[in-house]
Amino acid sequence: MPDYRVSPLVQELPATVPFVGPETQERNQGSLFKARIGANESVFGPSPNAIQAMADAASESWMYGDPEFHDLREDLAAHHQVESGNIMVGEGIDGMLGYVARMFLQPGDTVVTSAGAYPTFNYHVNGYGGKLEFVPYRDDREDLDALIQKATQLQARLIYVSNPDNPMGSWWDAQSIESITKQIPENCLLILDEAYGEFAPPGTLPPLDLDNQRLLRMRTFSKAYGLAGMRVGYAIGNAELILEFNKIRNHFGVGRVAQAAARAALKDQAHLQRVLTQVNNSLETIKEIAVENGLMPLPTASNFLTIDCGKDGAFAAALMQSLIGKGIFVRMPGVSPLNRCIRITAGLPEELQILAETLPKVLEEVRKSF
Ligand SMILES: Cc1ncc(COP(=O)(O)O)c(C=O)c1O
The best mutation among 89, 166, 344 to test binding of ligand 1, ranked by most ligand atoms within 8 Å of the C-beta, falls on: 166
3 state SS of 121: helix
Spacing, Cα 91 to ligand 1 middle (Å): 11
11-15, 190-194, 226-230, 239-243: least confidently modelled range: 11-15
pLDDT digits (tens, 9 = 90+) for 225-269: 999 999 999 999 999 999 999 999 999 999 999 999 999 999 999
Domain(s) of CATH 3.90.1150.10: residues in the chain:
8-45+270-368
**Cβ–Cβ < 8 Å for 263, 71:** yes
pLDDT digits (tens, 9 = 90+) for 64-78: 999 999 999 999 999
In the chain, the DSSP E strands lie at 35-36, 87-90, 110-114, 131-135, 158-162, 189-193, 215-220, 233-237, 296-297, 304-308, 328-329, 341-345
Spacing, Cα 193 to ligand 1 middle (Å): 8
Please give the share of the chain, as a percent, with pLDDT higher than 90: 98
Amino acid at 184: I
Residue 334, class by beta-carbon neighbours within 10 Å (0-12 exposed, 13-18 middle, 19+ buried)?
A: middle
Is 16's pLDDT higher than 90?
A: no
The residue among 183 and 19 whose pLDDT is bigger is 183
141 DSSP assignment: B
Pick the CATH number of 48-268 from 3.90.1150.60, 3.40.50.1820, 3.40.640.10, 3.40.190.10: 3.40.640.10
Q: Which atom of ligand 1 is nearest to the CA of 92?
A: 10
User: Please, which pLDDT band fits residue 17 given cuts at 50, 70 and 90?
Assistant: confident
pLDDT digits (tens, 9 = 90+) for 144-180: 999 999 999 999 999 999 999 999 999 999 999 999 9
Say what the pLDDT of residue 19 is.
84
Contacts (Cβ under 8 Å, ≥6 apart) of 294: 310, 363
CATH topology of domain 8-45+270-368: Aspartate Aminotransferase, domain 1 (3.90.1150)
Domain(s) of CATH 3.40.640.10: residues in the chain:
48-268
Say what the pLDDT of residue 210 is.
98
Rg of the chain over Cα atoms, rounded to whole angstroms, equals: 21
